[in-house]
Structure 1
Amino acid sequence: MKLQLFRNATLKLDYAGSVILIDPDFGRKHSRPSFTGRSPNPMVELPASTDEILEGVDFVLVSHLHADHFDKVAQDRVPKHLPLICQPGDEDTIRSFGFLDVTPLYDDLTIDGIHVKRREGNHGSGPVLEKMGKVMGFTIEGEGEPSIYWAGDTILYPPVRETIETAEPDIIITHSCGAKWDDVFIVMDAEQTSDVCEIAAPHTRVIAVHMEALDHATTSREELRAYANSRSVDKHRLIIPDDGEILHLTAPTS
């Protein structure tokens, strides 16, 4: 498979004969308000044009409707005929944007021979959790490809641990910028990402994204790497791609 990170959570997977776009955020640099007063968002430009990002896409996965995961520009630019998979409860809103083929992921489904299963996520804790609203992660499996657990906008909590331990994915994609709301973590930070590396099966690679794009983040790529090094997390175990970087990943051989 080929994985390309564009910015924040926006990924493109070339996987089992299909091209999957995840959580498209196409807004220009500084086109949305600040969360903290530090900077307008997003803080960086996309490393490719929207036409390049959309080229060849067969279907779209949208985990939730926060602007950094499905912004107004993406709502306008993503072709309306493309199959779009979302969390239950978001389908009517997405259809109101003009999308014609919207499927809520209640449990699992197969599309283009690829098995997608919904996984639980908590976008924070305590009172903040209600403010952030519902989110989802998902696992993806395709013949001849590494299995993927895309954890999404979640902290590390028991259902995420259970997914890691029971699904034993080949690849885990974490959102690791340590973003905070009301001084509460709403995604993983360096400590929780390193915990994921320790919880996961020995063959699993962890790919940390959702970094250096939003002004409520507290953890940079450099800080994540330094902390992981202090925990003796191998650099081949934890991959921290740059925006625009392409990773070629294969299923482990038995």
Structure 2
Amino acid sequence: MQLQLIRNATLKLAYGGATILVDPYFAPKHSLPSFTGRSQNPMVELPVAVEDILDGVELVIVSHLHTDHFDSVAKETMPKHWPLICQQGDESTIRQAGFTDVTPLAGEISWRGIRITRREGNHGTGAVLDKMGPVMGFTLEAEGEPSVYWAGDTVLYPPVLETIKAFEPDVIVTHSCGAMWDDTLIVMDAEQTVETAEVAPRATVIATHMEALDHATVSRDALRAHAASRRLSPERLLVPADGELLTLPAAR
């Protein structure tokens, strides 16, 4: 398996003989409004050209419709016939954008020998959870590949812990920037990311969704420092730079 962090939550995966694009967010630097007044978004440019990101893609997964996960540039540039998997309830909006092969993920599906299973997520707590709306995570399984749990835009809460315990993933992808909305955490912060690694001692945790949006509160360096203070091995928690390509070993 190869995983390339593009920017924010956008990933390009080589998995099970296929190339999968996750949560395409292609907006140019400073082309979208600020969330906090600190900076226009996104705060950094894409590390590679859009045409290079799209090259070879065979499947797209969109976890939810927030603009930093599926934006107008992606909608305009992605071929409309590509197969696209989304959470249940988003399919009509995506079809209205012109996409013709849209499959809502209600439970699990098999696509070209890859098992894709929907997982629960909470994009915040309390009243903010209603403002953020529904989101999903997912897991991937394929012969000869590591099992992957892409947690998505979620805080660490019981269903995430239950997924880790039941699924025992080889790889966990977290969103770890500590983004805040109305003074409420809406994705994992450094403490929750490290706790995720601690409850999955055999997994490699890959922290993404960092240093791209102005409502983030945790930097890559701060996350690494917190992990070191908890004596978490840097081999257990990977914090890739935008554009960085990681190669993960085959399943245990």
- Provide the TM-score with structure 2 as the length reference: 0.99
Q: Secondary structure at the match of 1:69?
A: coil
Specify the alignment match of 1:58 in structure 2. 58
Specify the alignment match of 2:177 in structure 1. 177
Counterpart residue type for residue 223 of structure 2: L
Specify the alignment match of 1:232 in structure 2. 231
Counterpart residue type for residue 16 of structure 1: G
Does structure 2 conserve the Cα–Cα contact (< 8 Å) formed by 1:170 and 1:251?
no
Specify the alignment match of 2:96 in structure 1. 96
Specify the alignment match of 1:249 in structure 2. 248
Specify the alignment match of 1:37 in structure 2. 37
Q: After TM superposition, give the deviation of residue 149 of structure 1 in Å.
A: 0.1
Counterpart residue type for residue 12 of structure 2: K
Counterpart residue type for residue 22 of structure 2: I
Separation (CA, whole Å) in 2 of partners of 1:114 and 1:81: 20
Does structure 2 conserve the Cα–Cα contact (< 8 Å) formed by 1:203 and 1:252?
no
Specify the alignment match of 1:74 in structure 2. 74
Gaps of 5+ in 2: none
Does structure 2 conserve the Cα–Cα contact (< 8 Å) formed by 1:178 and 1:189?
yes
Runs ≥4 in structure 1, deviation > 6 angstroms? Answer: none
Counterpart residue type for residue 95 of structure 1: R
Identical-pair percentage:
65
Does structure 1 conserve the Cα–Cα contact (< 8 Å) formed by 2:24 and 2:71?
yes
Q: Deviations over 1:110-169 (max 9, x none)?
A: 111110000000000000000000000000001100000000000000000000111000
Specify the alignment match of 1:208 in structure 2. 207
Q: Secondary structure at the match of 2:118?
A: strand
Gaps of 5+ in 1: none
Q: Deviations over 1:228-249 (max 9, x none)?
A: 1111111000000000000011
Does structure 2 conserve the Cα–Cα contact (< 8 Å) formed by 1:169 and 1:204?
yes
Separation (CA, whole Å) in 1 of partners of 2:222 and 2:120: 27
Specify the alignment match of 2:4 in structure 1. 4
Separation (CA, whole Å) in 2 of partners of 1:99 and 1:250: 34
Q: Secondary structure at the match of 1:178?
A: coil
Question: Are 2:167 and 1:197 equivalent residues in the alignment?
Answer: no
Does structure 2 conserve the Cα–Cα contact (< 8 Å) formed by 1:60 and 1:83?
yes
Separation (CA, whole Å) in 2 of partners of 1:16 and 1:196: 25
Does structure 2 conserve the Cα–Cα contact (< 8 Å) formed by 1:80 and 1:99?
yes
Counterpart residue type for residue 115 of structure 2: H
Q: Secondary structure at the match of 2:131?
A: helix
Separation (CA, whole Å) in 1 of partners of 2:232 and 2:166: 22
Q: After TM superposition, give the deviation of residue 44 of structure 1 in Å.
A: 0.1
Q: Secondary structure at the match of 1:85?
A: strand
Q: After TM superposition, give the deviation of residue 203 of structure 1 in Å.
A: 2.1
Alignment of 1:11-50 (within 5 A): 11-50=11-50
Q: After TM superposition, give the deviation of residue 252 of structure 1 in Å.
A: 4.4
Separation (CA, whole Å) in 1 of partners of 2:112 and 2:20: 10
- Provide the TM-score with structure 1 as the length reference: 0.98
Separation (CA, whole Å) in 1 of partners of 2:242 and 2:207: 11
Q: After TM superposition, give the deviation of residue 180 of structure 1 in Å.
A: 0.2
Does structure 2 conserve the Cα–Cα contact (< 8 Å) formed by 1:175 and 1:188?
yes
Q: After TM superposition, give the deviation of residue 251 of structure 1 in Å.
A: 2.2
Does structure 2 conserve the Cα–Cα contact (< 8 Å) formed by 1:4 and 1:13?
yes
Counterpart residue type for residue 55 of structure 1: D
Separation (CA, whole Å) in 1 of partners of 2:229 and 2:150: 25
Q: After TM superposition, give the deviation of residue 250 of structure 1 in Å.
A: 1.2
